[in-house]
Structures are given as structure tokens and as C-alpha cells.
Structure 1
């Protein structure tokens, strides 16, 4: 495991994170979906990462317009100095999404795999060799929350936070709080942060149209 990866080092001592989607006024006023962009803020309120979808061209433009939240994407998480620390790749799948995670030098860190479960939204956090490191479970009666579990014990949460009445009224921009309780492993922490972006795409990006 590439323990020297800078992204893992940055997340080692953080207890809570805030992931905030950044929307342009053009998107807010027209409702047209552009490339998603986020900032990830640490305990002290300072930015840890700036994240955004990468790529351009007519093909990607059409994918964003027609496939919307189901579209494949590549996202990069960069430091304040512009260095790429993480790269997330979501291949296109009709059902049960997957996200591959690598560090800035292209070394495979693991993956997030959506699973089918009755009455809950479920994901597996997988290590570099495909081994299960944790599970994410979204209870049916808590639609804005995903519990991070290891060996049946809750060690963290990913929770959707309201952006404010006016903003939620006009746009689908999302804020998430990520809390690490008993979760110490920086690799698993990194993968949980990556999972937050996939959860946003799958469960919240199209919610105005009635999708979950």
C-alpha cells in the first residue's frame, strides 16, 4: 500500500470534513448541469482538496447533458498548490455504480462498489487487492445519512447537509459532513472521502427529478 501518498497523510489526523459542491451562477439560473466541482475543508476550516471533473470536448458535453447523474467521469482532487493528489474514475454502468480510486501518481488505492440490499443503500469499500475494508449503509428512514461500518461497528458517517433554503430552492448543490469516529486507517479514510462524491452523483444529483 502506498502509505507515502500525500492524500493519506493529509487525512490522517482529521476528525471531521466538509465537502461542499461549488456551482456557477450560470448553472443556478438555467438548471444546465456542468462539470461538478467541490472543495474539501478540514477541522480548522482550511481547504485540504479542490476536486473537479476533468475532460472536455463534445462527447463529454453530450454525456453530461443526456446521461446526467449516470454518466461516467474522471475526477481529480488537487492540493491548494495545484498538485493532483487523488484521481477517481467512474466507469459507465447501467446498475450498481463503481468508483476506482488511485493516488496522484496512478497507484491503485482501492474502489467503492455499490451493492443491492433491500430497504437500505449499501456500498463496499474495497482495498487495492479487492478485499473489503468497510461498508457504507444508508438506513431507509435516514435518507441523508450513510454509516461507515467495520466488523459491524459504526466508525464514521457521511451525512448530507442542507446548503440553506435559498440555495436548495434553486440548485442541486450539496454539502456533506464526513465524520471519523473510530476510523484510524488513513487509506480507509481516503476511500470514504472518495465515496462521498459517488454518493452525491448516485443519490442526490437527480433528486429534483424524483430519483434516489
Structure 2
């Protein structure tokens, strides 16, 4: 039976085509390993804002002018932004990832930096992460120094901090420095996903292939769970580029990560990209977070320098 498209209702009698390690079942479900972390002790509050962050309270209808200072004392201002209502805490769910339990689609919009467009000087990237209704779920802010950004460019190591509407860091993505010009296994790209910061929940590693871009999504124990397979030519013009999320045997399609075409002007003069992610609604929130990390890794690997 052909796998249904993400976001559609499963036909009667259809069995999910992804491994138990990716399934978010009931608390007694034992098909996947779990973190030995006392999340209950964290449910009373997220990890506090990092140095320089200010805590803001959203408006009564979810609209506010949000100011989120970054590590280098720059302030991000989001005006008239509607944030997704905060869901209640979930059992065995890292605090801040409850939002992911309610969505099967993520939209990622990279903010355009005027200084970068006019001068070519690489600045810290910022991304708006939204649900299918256009409500803001998270804000992602890159935290790298000036020298690293402009010397290493797209191959640079980085720390990407995922913030909620109160400026609290709910996820941290860490990419180490790896050479991108050779095919030795030690130079394959990877990224670590932490939620909360300091607690790994999964990894994304590049799988060597002579033609196709391929990634492996792993859980916190570095056990393979899902695959991501892209087209032979990752940079194409005037069309969306789909990276399919598949089962480990690459026979079943689970979802996809799409690099969306943003128009000739934006694609030509900036490296600000838009992405869409689709996955099953019942996918484990940790694997949804890992899929989000895979999207950012693909952006830096194939599209960060495309301008």
C-alpha cells in the first residue's frame, strides 16, 4: 500500500510505515528508547533566558512587539506577531517541545539582513519558525563570531538557539567544523540537537553518496531512525526542491523537507531562504525536533552561499 501524503487521514487498516523508534505512543509504549531525564522537574519552567535575554509577556490575543536580545547585545524586534498558543506540558516531553506535538507542518522563513545584501558582510542568520496557520512557534538565532562567519562562510560551525515568545531557549543546535571539500568519512557533516540546552535528543549525520545528498536522523543514543534523501542536483532554478524523509530501508516515504522557491529577486541577491517541513502528526516530538535540525543543516550545506 502506498504511503499517504503527510497531513492526510490514514485509510482504514493502514499501518504506519516508520519504525517504532519514531512513534510517539502512550507512556507505556516501549518501542523506542527514552531519555533518562527527569522532565517533570523541568515542567515548572523552561531553562532561563541566557545572558542578555529579556522576558516579555505576550498580549491577550497573542500579538505583541517582541524584543529578543541576542548574545552579542543585538535586539530582534517582532511587531504584530501572532504566536501559537502554548499547549499544556506533556509527559516525557522536553519543555518547549509541546508545540511540536500539535503540528504536522513547519514553515521556516529566514529574515533578510540589509547589511548583508548591500555589503556582502555575513551576519548572524535569524529564522522565523511558524505553523501552517502562520502563527509563530519559535525564533531561531545563529550565535557565531564575525571571523567564523566570514572566513568559513557556509561551512562554518555554528550554534543555533531556538527561542520561544518569552525569549527562553528551548532548543540548541550545534554544528561542529567539518571540511566540506572532500569525501572522507571524517568530513561528513553533522548537527546535534539539544532540548533543553545541554541534553541531546538526537543527531543528524550526512551519509556518503557519490551523487545524492543523504542524511540520517538518529535518536539520543545515536541509533538510526529515519533517512533524508534529496535530488541529484540540490540547487535548481524556479522550482521547489524536495528532500524526502524516508524509512531506514528508503522504501516508505514519511514526509519531506522542501526548499521553497522565493522568486528571482530574493534568490539572486540574498541567501535568505524559505523551507517547509511535513511529517506525521504522531511522530515523536524529539524526532520532529531532529527533523528541524536536518532542515537547518541542509540550508547551510546547499543554500547558504547560493546568491
**Structure 1 length-normalised TM:** 0.90
Partner of 1:23: 112
After superposition, the CA RMSD in angstroms is 1.7
Partner of 1:131: 223
1:15-164 map, 5 Å:
15-55=104-144, 60-94=145-179, 95-140=187-232, 144-151=241-248, 152-164=251-263
Whether 1:207 aligns to 2:306 is yes
Structure 2: gaps of 5 or more residues: 1-34, 38-91, 180-186, 236-240
Residue 117 of structure 1 aligns to a residue in which SS?
coil
Q: Which has the higher helix share?
A: 1
Q: Which has the higher strand share?
A: 1
Cα deviations by residue, 1:14-50 (Å, 9 ceiling, x for unpaired): 1211111112211111222111110100022111110
Alpha-carbon distance between aligned partners in 2 of 1:113 and 1:142, rounded to the nearest angstrom: 17
Partner of 2:284: 185
Q: Which moved more, 1:136-145 or 1:97-106?
A: 136-145
Alpha-carbon distance between aligned partners in 2 of 1:166 and 1:83, rounded to the nearest angstrom: 34
**Structure 2 length-normalised TM:** 0.63
Residue 139 of structure 2 aligns to a residue in which SS?
strand
Alpha-carbon distance between aligned partners in 1 of 2:243 and 2:120, rounded to the nearest angstrom: 27
Structure 1: gaps of 5 or more residues: none
Q: Highest Rg: 1 or 2?
A: 2
Alpha-carbon distance between aligned partners in 2 of 1:108 and 1:70, rounded to the nearest angstrom: 22
Partner of 1:165: 264
